[in-house]
Amino acid sequence: MAQVTPAVGFSDGGTGAECGQDFEDVMTSNAELGPHGLSAAEYHGMEPPAPSIRTGNMQGEETQASLNSPAVAGDAGFMGLAFSTLEIVRNWSLNTYKCTRQMVTEQLGRGSRTLDPELSARVVALTETRRRYRALLRVARSMLAHFQLVVTAQRNLADCFSDLGHKSPDLQEEFSYNAETQRLLCKNGETLLRALTFFVNSINTLTNKTMADTLMTVRHYEAARLQFDAYRADVELLRSSATDPASAQRLDVAQKHFLSHKDKFERLRDDVAIKLKFLDENKVKVMQKQLLLFHNATSAYFAGNQQQLELTLKQFNVNSSIATPTAGIATWVEGQ
């Protein structure tokens, strides 16, 4: 067979020696080149290129990159939110079950209940006081509404007297001074209405806002007390039956929950005690002012002392910006 020899380009007109020399130079230079067309020195000084075959680490990196993509990250966030929601529902259901069980056992007389006799007595007194103040508020509102009708009737009567005085020359004087008397009574009545409105608003704020806020704190305290007793009973039950490592682990978890509810219970108990103290002080101050205002205003009105009535409103800072209930009612003349 014919032996194939690689073709090597020579310069035209070169001699054989020159050709041989060129061939040796080419072979020498090729021997000094590395596998990627680099010199030997350059090749040995470089890191080898990464192989094209995918190794396990690269596959893990690609998998991690795919997990970090927005779509997969969104799905992971959704699953995390779903698991957290399920955990919240689970804890809420467990807490509700324990509290319901504690409530039933207390009503049946089988469960122990944490009591603070002094605080409980103050809460009962507050509930009774609020009931009585709400009754006072109903009566005061009824008086305000009835007196509003009286003042409206006086204004209409004054307008009627004035109209008849203009149309009856023979009785003009009598109608005129009766009209002036009713207008004076109406004016004093509107002043008293401002005092009564201020009185009713203050009692309403004390009863339906200040006392109601304190009773809301009491309800939070009672709920915390129920949770505290429920987890206390749970800890006592687990202590009596803790015989294996699993029971001991459940006991540790129950004790953590118990201590958490204990802190909440004690904090709310202190809040209730402080609010009851401040409420008692505020109630005394408010009622002293309002009862004195009511007494002085009604006494001055029914005594016909207009100056004393105006002075009473100034003394208790009942300004004229308080609208009287009769301000929007049409008079008798306007209705004709």
Distance (Å, rounded) from C-alpha 251 to C-alpha 256? 9
As given in the structure block, the two tokens for residue 129 are 């006081």
Q: Does domain 117-315 have CATH number 1.20.1270.60?
A: yes
Give the three-state DSSP class for 216: helix
| pLDDT per position as a tens digit, 94-139 | 677 777 777 787 777 777 778 889 999 999 999 999 999 999 999 9
Instruction: Give the pLDDT band of residue 24 (cuts 50, 70, 90).
Output: very low
Instruction: Give the pLDDT band of residue 169 (cuts 50, 70, 90).
Output: confident
Instruction: Give the pLDDT band of residue 252 (cuts 50, 70, 90).
Output: confident
Q: Which of 5-9, 178-182, 222-226 has the lowest mean pLDDT?
A: 5-9
Per-residue confidence (pLDDT) for residue 285, from 0 to 100: 95
Residue range 274-296: average pLDDT? 95
User: What percent of the chain is modeled with pLDDT above 70?
Assistant: 70
Q: Is the pLDDT of residue 6 over 50?
A: no
Instruction: Give the pLDDT band of residue 238 (cuts 50, 70, 90).
Output: confident
CA angle 25, 29, 32 (to 5 degrees): 145
Question: Mean pLDDT over all residues of the chain?
Answer: 77
Q: Which of 129-133, 214-218, 310-314, 318-322 has the lowest mean pLDDT?
A: 318-322
| pLDDT per position as a tens digit, 30-55 | 444 444 444 444 434 444 444 444 44
Q: What residues does each domain of the chain span?
A: 117-315
Q: What is the 3-state secondary structure (H, E, C) of the chain?
A: CCCCCCCCCCCCCCCHHHHHHHHHHHHHHHHHECCCCCEHHHHHCCCCCCCCCCCHHHHHHHHHHHHCCHHHHHHHHHHHHHHHHHHHHHHHHHHHHHHHHHHHHHHCCCCCCCCCHHHHHHHHHHHHHHHHHHHHHHHHHHHHHHHHHHHHHHHHHHHHHHHHHHHCHHHHHHHHHHHHHHHHHHHHHHHHHHHHHHHHHHHHHHHHHHHHHHHHHHHHHHHHHHHHHHHHHHHHHHHHHCCCHHHHHHHHHHHHHHHHHHHHHHHHHHHHHHHHHHHHHHHHHHHHHHHHHHHHHHHHHHCCCHHHHHHHHHHCCCCCCCCCCCCCCCCCCCCC
N- to C-terminal Cα separation, the chain:
140
Residue type, 335: G
Per-residue confidence (pLDDT) for residue 71, from 0 to 100: 53
Per-residue confidence (pLDDT) for residue 119, from 0 to 100: 93
Instruction: Give the pLDDT band of residue 332 (cuts 50, 70, 90).
Output: very low
- pTM flag (> 0.85): no
Residue type, 212: A
Per-residue confidence (pLDDT) for residue 69, from 0 to 100: 55
Per-residue confidence (pLDDT) for residue 140, from 0 to 100: 96
Distance (Å, rounded) from C-alpha 319 to C-alpha 305? 19
- Radius of gyration over every alpha carbon of the chain, rounded to an integer in angstroms: 48
Residue type, 141: R
Q: Which of 173-182, 241-250, 253-262 has the lowest mean pLDDT?
A: 241-250
Instruction: Give the pLDDT band of residue 289 (cuts 50, 70, 90).
Output: very high
Instruction: Give the pLDDT band of residue 239 (cuts 50, 70, 90).
Output: confident
Please give the residue that has the higher pLDDT: either 49 or 237.
237
Give the position of tokens 């020195």.
Answer: 41
Give the three-state DSSP class for 39: strand
Instruction: Specify whether the CB–CB gap between 215 and 127 falls below 8 A.
Output: yes
Instruction: Specify whether the CB–CB gap between 190 and 301 falls below 8 A.
Output: no
Name the nearest CA neighbour of 282 among 200, 208, 211, 199. Answer: 211
Per-residue confidence (pLDDT) for residue 101, from 0 to 100: 76
Instruction: Give the pLDDT band of residue 288 (cuts 50, 70, 90).
Output: very high
